[in-house]
Amino acid sequence: MTETLHHWINGARVGGTSGRSGPVYNPATGHVTGDLPYASTDETRQAIAAAREALPQWAARTPLARARVLFQFKYLIEQHFDELAGLVSAEHGKVLGDARGEVTRGLEVVEFACGIPHLLKGEYSENVGTNVDSWSVQQPVGVCAGITPFNFPAMVPMWMFPIALACGNTFVLKPSEKDPSCPLRLAELLQEAGLPDGVFNVVNGDREAVDTLLTDERVGAVSFVGSTPIAEHIYRVGSEHGKRVQPLGGAKNHMLVMPDADTGQAADALLGSAYGSAGERCMAISVAVAVGDDTADRLVAELAPKIRALQVGPGSREGVEMGPLVTAEHRERVKGYVDLGVEEGAELVVDGRDLVIEGYEDGFYLGGCLFDHVTPEMRIYQEEIFGPVLVVVRVPDFERGLRLVNQHEFGNGTAIFTNDGGTARAFSSYAQCGMVGINVPIPVPMAFHSFGGWKRSLFGPLHMHGPEGVRFYTRMKTVTSRWPQSQPLPAEFVMPTMK
């Protein structure tokens, strides 16, 4: 059965009026499960208007009152935990355990945002001049927008809106058109938690909605997570329209495996980080850099049978380790990269292209693929594939491995597996990436730290959630104050300095 989906504007479900819509699939079966309306400019403006209207009252609430709504929201997420994870798995395809992990990671940002009274405490300096005091406060930016990717339909929106709302902003979310049901459900839970109508809105759709959010003068800040070409578009158009923007882009994360590392452990770490969520994670390791031929031989020998034994199937089935890709189109794109790797001369050690799952023949499945002897000139090394494809590049020493990490256009995350503290320390100091793991393959920072890459993985200065999230969603104001003294001060024509 196909469900007709909706927008969420001013605290209510709103059907689409643009006449444009698109299908939502269950990737495990390949069947269409939803029809999603794509918002017109007018519909997007209605959501912005609702957020603008709700802003003064929400911003005027005390931080503690806002935090109490988020505490209630946290409670409701816990009550509806399995339902939310089920929605993620049904539209994205990831296995249920992974979907639960995703919801938990989003929930942790809500928990962080519940501490907003403490996080918004400003700075105060007494007597910056004689009888003059000065303090800084962080005030809301206004109406904020979030545009999010398909691969984390629960977590990535929750990287943004809990902190934005806690800081006193109102919000318009444009989730991925591939898996919108979880974000729509989160909107209902926010209402149930006591969030006033209009403070949080969801518009579904494509570029028309996004460009309206980027150009409407009532929107003060735009957060984006997605692919690099769109992140660049968001950065350019949003900046041209005077907004603060925070666009996070694509990735090609390298993991260095040193000769002294336990290759069994490194292989297990690679298995989870390269093939978990079918490789559709911006922090997936997609390049294993083996230092020395002996390390590479041992690593590939450990990896290959484990990849062949991966349990692939529908995400809701017990024991499944890897679900399908998100759409048939994306599966064809990833398969195309595997064909390309063969043409480019890399050695395809494990070929998952012909995998068919019995009973789920129309699902968007692809088995795990492993390439060895990949070189930096190959496109399968350079470009983000975003599927269950791991490439092994062989380098003779640490320096050349590090150089590889640093010369790549993306700089999201990276990791090193070693038993040598000095090597690990040098790696973490010199790697040109925003997030580094030492014997940790997916170094996704916790909610109270900030998440973000370097180079073409992030445009603009501020990372997401944690302290940088609070900075992004607030504007600083510094007040300097003097109360009249018994002696009036004469006019001064020189720049005031501290006396």
Of the candidates 114, 195, 225, 257, which one interacts with ligand NAD according to CB under 6 A? Answer: 225
By CB under 6 A, residue 385 contacts ligand NAD = no
Contacts of 359 (CB under 8 A, 6+ apart): none
Choosing from 112, 235, 275, 386, the residue that interacts with ligand NAD (CB under 6 A) is 386
Options 145-153, 160-168, 259-267, 341-349: segment touching ligand NAD (CB under 6 A): 145-153
Q: How far apart are CA 429 and CA 362, in angstroms?
A: 47
216 is an interface residue for ligand NAD by CB under 6 A: no
Q: Which is nearer to ligand NAD, 148 or 263 (CB)?
A: 148
Pick the catalytic residue from 114, 144, 167, 282: 282
SS3 298: helix
Report the nearest approach of ligand NAD to the CB of residue 149 (Å). 3
Token pair 């024991």: residue: 319
Site for ligand NAD in 233-262 (CB under 6 A): 233, 248-251
Task: Specify the residue, 193 or 458, whose C-beta has the smaller distance to ligand NAD.
Answer: 458
Among 230, 300, 338, 416, contact with ligand NAD (rule: CB under 6 A): 230
Whole-number minimum distance, CB 157 to ligand NAD, in Å?
10
How many whole angstroms separate alpha carbon 102 and alpha carbon 27? 18
Taking CB under 6 A as the criterion, the residue among 148, 170, 263, 277 binding ligand NAD is 148
Q: What is the 3-state secondary structure (H, E, C) of 85-149?
A: HHHHHHHHCCCHHHHHHHHHHHHHHHHHHCCHHHHCCCEEEEEEECCEEEEEEEEECCEEEEECC
CA atoms within 13 A on the CB side of 154: 31
| Ramachandran bin of 68, using left for φ above 0, alpha for ψ from -120 to 50, beta for the remaining angles | alpha
* C-alpha–C-alpha distance, residues 40 and 54, integer Å: 22
Distance (Å, whole) CA 415 – CA 251? 13
Which tokens is 217 given?
A: 């003068």
In this chain, which of 149, 238, 314, 363 binds ligand NAD, going by CB under 6 A? 149
Selected from 111, 206, 262, 362, the binder of ligand NAD by CB under 6 A is: 206
Axis crossing angle, helix 181-192 with helix 63-79, rounded to the nearest 10: 120
Distance CA 142, CA 144 (A): 6
Indicate which single residue of 138, 176, 253, 263 sits in contact with ligand NAD (rule: CB under 6 A): 176
Could you tell me if 385 and 250 are in contact, meaning their C-beta atoms sit under 8 angstroms apart?
no
Is 98 one of the binding residues for ligand NAD (CB under 6 A)?
no
**Local structure of 128: helix, strand or coil:** strand
Among residue numbers 451 through 470, which ones bind ligand NAD (CB under 6 A)?
Answer: 453, 457
**If binding is defined by CB under 6 A, does position 219 make contact with ligand NAD?**
no
Among 90, 210, 322, 380, binds ligand NAD (CB under 6 A): 210
Chain residue at closest Cβ approach to ligand NAD = 226
Give the count of beta carbons closer than 10 Å to the beta carbon of residue 425.
12
Distance in Å, CB of 129 to ligand NAD, minimum = 45
Shortest Å distance, C-beta 487 to ligand NAD? 58
Q: Is residue 423 a contact residue for ligand NAD (CB under 6 A)? A: no
Judged by CB under 6 A, the stretch of 105-113, 205-213, 261-269, 300-308 that binds ligand NAD is 205-213
Asked if 412 touches ligand NAD (CB under 6 A), the answer is yes
Q: Is 414 in the site for ligand NAD (CB under 6 A)?
A: no
According to the binding rule CB under 6 A, does residue 232 interact with ligand NAD? Answer: no
Query: Taking CB under 6 A as the rule, does residue 346 contact ligand NAD?
Result: no
By DSSP bridging, strand 454-455 and strand 369-372 are unpaired
Question: For residues 16 and 20, what is the distance between their CA atoms, to the nearest angstrom?
Answer: 8
Interacting span for ligand NAD (CB under 6 A) from 71-79, 128-136, 142-150, 400-408? 142-150
Q: How many CA atoms lie within 13 A of 288 on its CB side?
A: 34
Q: Which is nearer to ligand NAD, 195 or 248 (CB)?
A: 248
d(CA 412, CA 414): 7
Which of these segments, 1-9, 48-56, 170-178, 469-477, binds ligand NAD (CB under 6 A)? 170-178
Closest to ligand NAD by CB, 248 or 470: 248
Check if 282 is active-site.
yes
Contact range with ligand NAD by CB under 6 A, out of 1-9, 26-34, 221-229, 296-304: 221-229
Task: For residue 281, count other CB atoms closer than 10 A to its CB.
Answer: 23
CA distance 17 to 35: 13
Under rule CB under 6 A, residue 383 binds ligand NAD: no
**Nearest residue to 290 (alpha-carbon basis) of 150, 396, 211:** 396
C-beta separation of 362 from 31 below 8 A: yes
177 binds ligand NAD (CB under 6 A): yes
Tokens of 128: 């910056």
Distance CA 13, CA 497 (A): 57
**Is residue 282 close enough to count as binding ligand NAD by CB under 6 A?**
yes
* Cα 165 from Cα 207, distance rounded (Å): 25
| φ, ψ dihedrals at 132, nearest 5° | -115, 130
Residues that bind ligand NAD (CB under 6 A): 147-152, 156, 174, 176-177, 206-207, 210, 225-227, 230, 233, 248-251, 282, 384, 386, 412, 453, 457
- Residues assigned a catalytic role: 282
